[in-house]
């Protein structure tokens, strides 16, 4: 129904204003060109991620390692066995967090929303702390699955709380339920960490957010969940454009608001839960990247999510590379770099861009 009305309106506008088709074509061409330019930047960031580290490797050697792998060459082994999985994880996590943040901001119509609003980070943290404290398990792979299950469980709990009463899970109710559940969970986590120094020692390495342990967690097992989240996001993207007009207008255009909200929340849970399970609670990607994408594309969720899916990995790869060179010969975890760089970047966005 909504697509039919949109097509009728577009046809009417073309008849009344012949210049509209050419303007729309130019805008689409510019957006498409920008998309390809960002893909080139992403390729460059990936090559830098493969080349830069405690043992520098030339870009030529990186390309050789990818195309003509020699198992007797130590540089090739560093690229293929150590840095390639880490780069792949950074790309997957960057895409997942950026799309999840874009969905949350569109769903709640709140420029300050990010996946943490659903309690994903606190749910994952509680599951990790509980597993360490109650079961004594510190295996990264098991903790990753516990984090994923905890993130998903708390996200749907927040949705259930927000759905109670008339009107269902409105943006305001989601924000309030998320804030209340987050506060409660952080209190529980703090109580456990105060009681157990051993739990705190094991938990503090996970909570920083890192890509360096990419080989120790079941990252490949999380890729299907990220793929399902991306498919859901692509399916509901056009409907989010109508929801941005308000609930009444969206209903008038035939949008099934409850179904769209549930699909968006499911996508956010899959994407952010998998990302947190693999890399820990990396902050600011889901908050800042959607605003950067919106500044380039406007409010159309289809283009916004396409741009965010490329900008997210660029930002995360850049932060990871910076963390490897800022304090040689060691490295600073990507979660710390994002926290230090994300704050000033977000302040700059608030001051220079229109937050909407």
Tens-binned pLDDT, residue by residue, of the chain (356 aa): 444 444 444 444 445 455 556 777 788 888 899 999 999 999 999 999 999 988 888 888 998 888 888 888 888 888 888 888 889 999 999 999 999 999 988 888 888 888 888 888 889 889 989 998 888 887 777 888 888 889 888 988 888 888 777 766 777 788 888 888 988 998 999 999 898 888 888 888 778 778 875 545 666 778 889 999 999 999 988 888 887 777 677 777 777 877 888 888 889 989 988 888 888 888 889 989 999 999 888 888 889 999 999 999 999 999 999 998 888 777 888 888 998 888 888 787 777 665 54
Output the pLDDT for position 4: 45
Give the separation between CA 175 and CA 177, rounded to whole angstroms: 6
Residue 238 lies in a domain: yes
Give the separation between CA 289 and CA 336, rounded to whole angstroms: 17
Angle at 318 between CA 271 and CA 106, to 5 degrees: 35
Residue 262 lies in a domain: yes
Residue 49 lies in a domain: no
Give the separation between CA 208 and CA 283, rounded to whole angstroms: 9
Output the pLDDT for position 171: 75
Residue 66 lies in a domain: no
- Say how many domains are in the chain: 1
- Residue of 104, 173, 118 lying closest to 150 (CA atoms): 118
Output the pLDDT for position 204: 80
Q: Exposure of 164 by Cβ count < 10 A (0-12 exposed, 13-18 middle, 19+ buried)?
A: exposed
Residue 264 lies in a domain: yes
Residue 50 lies in a domain: no
Give the contacts of 23 (CB within 8 A, at least 6 positions apart). Answer: none
In which domain, by residue range, is 143 found?
Answer: 91-352
Residue 326 lies in a domain: yes
Note the residue count of the chain.
Answer: 356
- CATH for 143: 1.10.3470.10
């Amino acid at each position: 129904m909504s697509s039919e009305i949109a097509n009728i309106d577009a046809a009417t506008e073309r008849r009344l204003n012949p210049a509209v088709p050419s303007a729309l074509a130019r805008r689409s061409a510019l957006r498409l060109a920008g998309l390809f330019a960002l893909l080139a930047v992403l390729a460059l960031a990936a090559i830098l991620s493969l080349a830069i580290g405690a043992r520098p490797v030339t870009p030529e050697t990186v390309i050789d390692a990818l195309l003509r792998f020699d198992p007797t060459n130590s540089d090739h082994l560093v690229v293929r066995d150590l840095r390639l999985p880490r780069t792949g994880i950074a790309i997957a996590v960057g895409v997942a967090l950026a799309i999840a943040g874009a969905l949350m901001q569109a769903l709640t119509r709140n420029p300050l929303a990010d996946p943490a609003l659903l309690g994903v980070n606190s749910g994952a943290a509680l599951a990790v702390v509980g597993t360490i404290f109650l079961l004594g398990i510190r295996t990264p792979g098991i903790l990753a699955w516990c984090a994923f299950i905890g993130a998903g469980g708390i996200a749907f709990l927040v949705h259930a709380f927000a759905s109670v009463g008339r009107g269902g899970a409105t943006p305001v109710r989601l924000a309030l339920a998320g804030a209340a559940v987050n506060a409660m969970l952080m209190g529980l986590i703090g109580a456990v960490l105060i009681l157990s120094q051993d739990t705190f020692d094991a938990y503090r390495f996970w909570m920083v957010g890192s890509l360096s342990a990419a080989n120790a967690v079941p990252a490949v097992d999380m890729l299907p969940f990220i793929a399902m989240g991306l498919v859901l996001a692509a399916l509901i993207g056009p409907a989010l454009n109508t929801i941005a007009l308000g609930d009444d207008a969206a209903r008038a255009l035939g949008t099934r608001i409850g179904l769209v909200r549930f699909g968006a929340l499911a996508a956010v849970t899959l994407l952010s839960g998998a990302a947190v399970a693999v890399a820990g609670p990396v902050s600011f990607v889901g908050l800042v990247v959607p605003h950067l994408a919106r500044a380039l594309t406007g409010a159309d969720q289809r283009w916004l999510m396409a741009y965010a899916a490329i900008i997210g990995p660029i930002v995360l790869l850049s932060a990871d590379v910076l963390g490897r060179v800022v304090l040689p010969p060691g490295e600073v975890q990507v979660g710390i770099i994002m926290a230090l760089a994300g704050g000033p970047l977000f302040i700059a966005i608030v001051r220079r861009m229109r937050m909407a």
